[in-house]
Amino acid sequence: MTGYRFHRLARYKIFSLQKIVGAAYLPIDRSRWVSHLRSMSAHYKSLARRTNPESAALFPLNGTVLLPGCDLPLNIFEPRYLNMIDDALKADRLIGMVQSQGGGLAEIGGLGRISQFSETEDGRYLVVLKGLKRFRLGEELKVSTPYRQAKLIFDGFEIDADTHDAKQTSEALSESGRADRATLTIAMRALAKAVKVELDWDSLQEIPLPLLINQAAMISPFQPEDKQSLLEAQTSDERRRLLIGLMHLYAGQINGNGEQPTQ
């Protein structure tokens, strides 16, 4: 990928962090929206805890991961995946996002629920998946549908539900919490500067740290292998540390020669 193309992709994705996350958290009527967010956060936390499907449709999409509490916009145009969305809307609205890996599918993916849906005049579906929690891929099923389906295993990902109800209060009152956010902000500024993107940093400060970590991990212009590592991080703090390292690494590569790091 040329440096020019990579810069355009990186700038788009980082702008999306402000557009998708910042705008979602900072509407004009802030007090009413904060109350609404708290209610929805509790709803999705409860939903994530009780949603444990034995199997789900799979949407393999390299370079894309879905983490708990985050929104993933998708532009669906392939007939088999249009079929998948139709079936999901008639059932539980659940889709399993997974990357390809080593000629097969990655072992760990993210379960999402369709939270927004619209259809374009040319027949495409524009959907938004809300990340519920991660899963471990089980046995792939023999099905008649044009899209793949597999059994899902949720053991070991119980803490994912808590991300939906993350609070900023405890973080703001904690010295370590403030330090954790500060080091992440420094890394985000380095990457944003490298790709020449301006962000509303005050708006991003309003986002609880676990959600900010997850959304930044999703939309940062990293290699699929690096995104998978972020997805598989066991804790939010482990993901934050890895994310900071990757941001500095990619920013350094861009500043050095205009190319993304190679594996």
**Does 47 fall in a domain?**
no
Mean per-residue pLDDT for 214-218?
Answer: 95
* 99 and 60, same domain (yes or no): yes
* 8 and 92, same domain (yes or no): no
Please tell me the least confidently modeled range out of 80-84, 99-103, 223-227, 236-240.
Answer: 99-103
Boundary-marking domain end, from 153, 177, 199: 153
**Does 242 fall in a domain?**
yes
* 176 and 229, same domain (yes or no): yes
Spatial CA neighbour of 84 closest among 68, 97, 102, 101: 97
* 35 and 57, same domain (yes or no): no
Pure H helices in 159-219? 169-173, 175-194, 201-204, 209-219
What pLDDT is stored for residue 236 in this prediction? 94
Residues in the chain: 263
Measured distance CA(163)–CA(165) in Å, rounded: 5
* 58 and 126, same domain (yes or no): yes
**Does 48 fall in a domain?**
no
What pLDDT is stored for residue 199 in this prediction? 82
Measured distance CA(74)–CA(21) in Å, rounded: 16
Paired sense of beta strands 94-98 and 108-119, if any: antiparallel
How many angstroms separate the Cα of 170 from the Cα of each of 1, 186, 237, 251?
Answer: 42, 21, 15, 31
Within the chain, how many helices (H) and strands (E) appear?
10, 8
* 252 and 181, same domain (yes or no): yes
* 122 and 175, same domain (yes or no): no
Who wins on pLDDT, 103 or 154?
Answer: 154
**Is 28's pLDDT higher than 70?**
no
Ramachandran category for residue 225: left, alpha or beta (phi over 0 → left; psi -120 to 50 → alpha): alpha
Q: Over the stretch 132-189, which tens digit does the pLDDT of each residue have?
A: 999 999 999 999 999 999 999 999 999 999 998 877 555 555 777 789 999 999 999 9
Measured distance CA(126)–CA(3) in Å, rounded: 29
**Does 205 fall in a domain?**
yes
Domain with 136, as residue range(s), is 53-153
**Is 250's pLDDT higher than 50?**
yes
**Does 263 fall in a domain?**
no
* 31 and 58, same domain (yes or no): no
- Across 33-188, the runs of DSSP E, i.e. the strands, are 55-60, 71-76, 94-98, 100-101, 104-105, 108-119, 125-140, 149-153
* 143 and 171, same domain (yes or no): no
* 59 and 30, same domain (yes or no): no
Instruction: Count the Cβ atoms, other than its own, within 10 Å of residue 23.
Output: 11
* 203 and 176, same domain (yes or no): yes
Is 261 in contact with 3 (CB distance < 8 Å)?
A: no
Instruction: Count the Cβ atoms, other than its own, within 10 Å of residue 195.
Output: 21
**Does 160 fall in a domain?**
no
Q: What is the CATH number of the domain that holds 72?
A: 2.30.130.40
What pLDDT is stored for residue 101 in this prediction? 86
Question: What predicted TM-score, i.e. pTM, was given to this entire model?
Answer: 0.83
Boundary-marking domain end, from 121, 153, 185: 153
Q: Over the stretch 52-101, which tens digit does the pLDDT of each residue have?
A: 999 999 999 999 999 999 999 999 999 999 999 999 999 999 999 999 98
**Does 158 fall in a domain?**
no
- Written as six digits, the tokens of 172 are 């703001």
How many angstroms separate the Cα of 22 from the Cα of each of 39, 181, 201, 220, 262?
Answer: 18, 16, 9, 15, 30
* 135 and 177, same domain (yes or no): no
**Does 138 fall in a domain?**
yes
Boundary-marking domain end, from 85, 120, 153: 153
The total of structural domains in the chain comes to 2
